[in-house]
């Protein structure tokens, strides 16, 4: 986004489900983006515990245990509570109310057409017993976005259908209640959409066990890099190697700052005469340069620091939410 297109009235909002600590996939896919956005815009980052409950309703301990972890990850990465309002979704009661009003503005068949929901339903094996709360979480997500009048939503590709639905609800709401109080929003996609897992098979994810966590100890980082999938046919150093599908190169592309050096290494590797060891050592250096300060900062963030940040954020977010819900009640005609 160029400086020209900056509109100070834009408001940024995004969120994460607190179902685990954040990993490097989150960092390159989203957190990095937020760090620059918070410098330019009013920014909200929501820990989406209510949404996390929609597919973990029988395991609330998991969500509870991860709220502080996620918040620590944010702070360690440089999300700055003086610039970004960090808050907990379930503590903003107005979101539940707004979700309820929005439920009337979408059809069940529209919700069933959402490709992300379709994929998630398959993965979660709900079969015929789809919880209504799960099918409807995109409606609650529309409330998240619109209650803060957010216009820029930094997310991954999988969230595009949610933003589309949110905009449909906005238009329907404004039309139905003959007003213009709600604003439409647009996604902000990161340059690095998907970080592959260290096994090279799929995107990095906690559940697949192929991710590097932001607080992984140096020795764990070393082990995970050593375990990275490279080219199985590149046996001797002198053998020519393949770049495509080679996780070490995929990560060097993302984490090694000297792009020219990476290009030279790729040429050398393709020709033969470059061993995986050298590359993995180089990658370790670059990744540790990024992760070491995050890891060290994270270790100093206490639970009480986190609780203060969240309480502060909840207070700020509540003020805005209350104002919007009042406008919403007014146009509906509720006292």
Residues engaged in binding ligand TRP (CB under 6 A): 13-17, 46, 48, 51, 141, 144-145, 153, 155, 159
Query: Residue with structure tokens 């620590």?
Result: 72
Q: What is the CA radius of gyration of the chain?
A: 22
Residues 6+ away with beta carbon under 8 Å from 196 = 202, 203, 204, 247, 250
Choice between 190 and 230, CB closer to ligand TRP: 190
Among residues 128, 131, 155, 130, the alpha carbon closest in space to that of 141 is found at 155
For residues 116 and 288, which CB has a smaller minimum distance to ligand TRP in the complex?
A: 116
Please report, for the chain, how many H helices and E strands are present, in that order.
Answer: 15, 5
Residue 304 C-beta: closest distance to ligand TRP, Å: 26
Which of residues 56 and 288 has its CB atom nearest to ligand TRP in the complex? 56
Q: Show the tokens assigned to 126.
A: 């709900």
Strands (DSSP E) found in 135-185 = 152-154
Q: Which residue has the tokens 């905009």?
A: 167
Q: How far is the CB of 169 from ligand TRP (least distance, A)?
A: 13
CB of 16 to ligand TRP, least distance (A): 6
In the complex, the smallest distance separating the C-beta of residue 142 from ligand TRP, rounded to whole angstroms, is: 9
Q: Tell me the residue nearest to ligand TRP as measured from the CB.
A: 15
- Residues with Cβ within 8 Å of 194's Cβ and at least 6 positions away in sequence, in order, are 25, 29, 156, 157, 203, 204
- What gap in Å lies between CA 212 and CA 161, rounded to an integer? 28
- Residue closer to ligand TRP, measured from CB, 189 or 305: 189
Of the pair 153, 282, the CB lying nearest ligand TRP is at: 153
Cβ distance to ligand TRP smaller for residue 65 or 278: 65
Q: Output the smallest distance, CB 154 to ligand TRP, in A.
A: 8
DSSP string, 187-203: EE--SS--PBPTTSSSB
| The residue count for the chain | 335
Q: If you search the block for the tokens 């700020």, which residue do you land on? A: 316
Cβ-based neighbours of 275, under 8 Å, separated by 6 or more? 237
Our CB check for ligand TRP shows the closer of 79 and 153 to be 153
Smallest gap from Cβ 143 to ligand TRP, in A, equals 9
Intra-chain end-to-end CA distance of the chain, in Å: 42
Q: How far is the CB of 81 from ligand TRP (least distance, A)?
A: 19
């Amino acid at each position: 986004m160029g400086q020209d297109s900056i509109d100070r009235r834009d408001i940024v909002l995004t969120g994460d489900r607190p179902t685990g600590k954040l990993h490097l996939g989150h960092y390159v896919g989203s957190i990095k983006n937020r760090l620059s956005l918070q410098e330019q815009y009013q920014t909200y980052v929501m820990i989406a515990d209510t949404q996390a409950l929609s597919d973990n309703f029988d395991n609330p301990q998991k969500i509870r245990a991860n709220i502080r972890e996620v918040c620590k990850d944010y702070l360690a990465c440089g999300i700055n509570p003086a610039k970004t309002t960090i808050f907990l979704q379930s503590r903003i009661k107005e979101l539940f109310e707004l979700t309820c009003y929005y439920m009337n503005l979408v059809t069940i068949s529209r919700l069933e057409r959402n490709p992300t929901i379709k994929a998630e339903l398959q993965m979660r094996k709900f079969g015929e017993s789809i919880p209504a709360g799960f099918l409807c979480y995109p409606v609650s997500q529309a409330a998240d976005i619109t209650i803060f009048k957010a216009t820029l939503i930094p997310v991954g590709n999988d969230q595009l259908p949610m933003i589309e639905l949110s905009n449909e609800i906005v238009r329907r709401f404004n039309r139905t209640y003959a007003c213009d109080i709600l604003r439409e929003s647009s996604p902000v996609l990161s340059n690095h959409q998907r970080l592959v897992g260290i096994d090279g098979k799929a995107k990095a994810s906690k559940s697949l066990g192929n991710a590097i966590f932001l607080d992984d100890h140096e020795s764990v980082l070393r082990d995970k890099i050593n375990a990275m999938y490279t080219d199985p046919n590149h046996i001797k150093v002198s053998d020519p190697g393949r770049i495509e599908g080679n996780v070490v190169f995929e990560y060097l592309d993302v984490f090694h700052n000297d792009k020219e050096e990476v290009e030279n290494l790729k040429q050398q590797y393709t020709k033969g005469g470059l061993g995986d060891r050298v590359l993995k050592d180089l990658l370790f250096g670059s990744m540790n340069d990024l992760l070491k300060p995050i890891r060290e900062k994270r270790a100093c963030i206490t639970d009480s620091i986190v609780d203060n940040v969240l309480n502060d954020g909840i207070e700020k977010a509540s003020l805005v939410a209350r104002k919007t819900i009042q406008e919403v009640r007014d146009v509906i005609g509720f006292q």
